[in-house]
Structure 1
Amino acid sequence: MDFEPSAAAADHTRRMRAFLDEKVLPAEPTYDAWRLERRGTPQEWDLPPVVEELKAEARERGLWNLFLPSVSGLSNLEYAAVAEVSGWSPVIAPEAINCQAPDTGNMETLHLFGTPEQKQQWLEPLLAGEIRSAFAMTEPDVASSDATNVQTRIRRDGDDYVISGRKWWISGTADERCKVFIVMGKTDPDAPRHRQQSMILVPRDAPGMQVLRHLPTFGYQDQHGHSEIVFDDVRVPASNLLGEEGGGFAIAQARLGPGRIHHCMRLIGMAERAIDLMVRRARDRVAFGRPLADQGVVREQIALSRIEVEQARLLVLKTAWLIDEHGSKGAATEIAAIKVAVPRMACTVIDRAMQLHGAAAMSDDFPLAYFYTWARALRFADGPDEVHLRSVARQELAAHE
């Protein structure tokens, strides 16, 4: 197991860091000011023009669609360091290089399971950064941590499927560029438990699909939104089915594996930026006649944060290597482990940085409150901690039978 960066990984990481420092971080104030002016208006969900400028710049620099090995040529291990750098600016950088959730998982799903026609209609414009997409699985009326609980019905009717149900926390929906939904529902409630579900592509403009509301997270409304949606007898052609009937659960597992590790890669970057801000604050601020950096308790917080980030990064790199060598199934336990360990680590490190910044940390003057919000949210997204702990425990117990 060798984590020495390859020449390709080192080159892409170097160029990504230069792009971040030269273009992305300087664009953050412009992005924030543009959104602040439109907060509470119908234009709140519009994309700040600076992002399109950054996307063009990223393409010119060869930093585009790096998450998809078949397109970029980078392995998961090689991509890890690039994704970490993008995590320094999680609102802007991932989209600037077309490596943002939930589109990465949706593009991987279409790449693996889409028909040629589906790929032409949806995957190609997603890879080009022309549209965005959403993944609709979570429901308000059932415990969606168990994906077999979904109640949305997908019923065959002649040459069509008819979708009925309610979803929520569907990321990206507020953005009008979100043109297609991958919807998970039940096609056969009487089939074996893991063969009841299917996935289907639903265009945004399909009659009967309604966005009820956009859900804030700790009071934040990000530019893409997280929404509650109703499917009221939405009719789509049978050709919109992804894969085969009854294959939805398997597709979900294939989709969520890489998505979980990408989240963790970016969280490492968020934690690194939190440490950077913590150190700068500790050097600049004076309390009780000495810089905060001279206070023993502050030094301990910095040291613990560095240790915890390094531990988490090594587990993420091991998981990326295992996926490259053995596929997502061969890394299932490690994927579950990092999905618990890394968001918890990020929450802890960001919280320490917030404490060092005092009340300023709760303002928009620093990115820490936003970082904490999404690090905490990622303890739910793609499965809550408890589900992943259950998976790790099951494997550990099975090894001793």
Structure 2
Amino acid sequence: MRTTTYDTAAEERPRAVLVSLVTDEVKRSGIDPVYSLEELVALAETAGVEVLTTLAQNRETKDTKWFIGKGKVQELKVVADELGANTAIFDQELSGAQVRNLEEELDLKIIDRTQLILDIFAQRAKTREGIIQVELAQLSYLLPRLSGQGRNLSRLGGGIGSRGPGESKLETDRRHIRGRIDELKRQIGEVEKHRTLQRQRRKKSGAVQVALVGYTNAGKSTLLRQLTNADVYVQNQLFATLDPTSRTLELPGGREIVLTDTVGFIQNLPHNLIAAFRATLEEVNEADLVLHVVDASSEMLDDQMKVVEQIMEELGAGGKPQIRLYNKKDLCTPEQLELLPEDEGNLRISAYDEKDLEKLMNRLQEELTGGTVTYRIPAARGDLVSQLYKIGEVVSQEFEEEDALYEVRLHKGESEKYAYMLEDYKVQP
């Protein structure tokens, strides 16, 4: 099928009113509606939208026809007309019928939070894998809503909410879209097989993997760049990078590890997106250590940490060894800094501070070291000495008649692979 792409220069820039509905269900969920709306503003601006104003409504439950009440729809119409808006973006997910009803009543393009996030991902995806994953997520989201999308797509012919698959795909019947979804899932399966083989090769070689995870815009990509001189895109915006990047990092003792940056998390991250990116996010599951990067300067850092932990649990990686990095300490007030813990499992850092990076590297060295063991190696067994250097760092050596005593600081990963070959030569404490 032909894919229609959207040229932002050729289309009118979206000018939007942002709308939030606060129901009893939202209050029970623990989500802060004020912060969520502020985050929606940041998401919209990241997507290239001009945000004109915001509206919020409190109701016990959502309106099945209008989502917000009929009276609020009329208020939204007046505000949109006065400000010259061409789009309304809702902070919660809408059904196809609600999109259709609102669109016809308001004569605006209607977008919800999920569609907005998917649109940003469509802009950010650069690799074949990322593009496949985003298209799968978009089509899975749109399939049950096709009845509410026809006029929306034909009237504006592109733009926010319709990037990626393109209007020609979305206006075909459900059967063809289901066929496309099946094909994309098959391609994702191939990606998953490839990643599994890569992980198996890394394990066989004894390579240790460390994964960077965190809320979007916490500074993961900056940290990766500062530690490894990686050529990665760094920008102060949500979802600045999408495709995962792995780089080799040499620790102070000379050992090399693989450091992988993963996609940033966000509250209400669309389930379709988590499902589509599961092959990529499996890198977190397979990591020997997780570095949870937190924006220490954010007033919502506790909520952001909870979101990351919940998604980690959902991925099955909740029990992974973890070090929490309170990043952007240079942007914190003295009062904020005082509240941040600093111990074996928590470090306060700035990704731009060389001393903090050195402190982090030393902490990684400690965490990825499996203790110290002494081996007695016969002088004639030079082949075993080479194995010692594979399983860790030789701290000292002494010679006793026909033998040599080697004190070795073990490396996790390598020691688990090769130590059995040296078991008979271990000196018992």
TM superposition score category, shorter chain reference: under 0.3
From the CA coordinates, give the structure whose radius of gyration is larger: 2
Normalising by structure 1, report the TM-score: 0.24
Provide the TM-score with structure 2 as the length reference. Answer: 0.22
* Greater RCO, 1 or 2 (C-alpha within 8 Å, sep 6+): 1
Query: Which structure carries more strand by proportion?
Result: 2
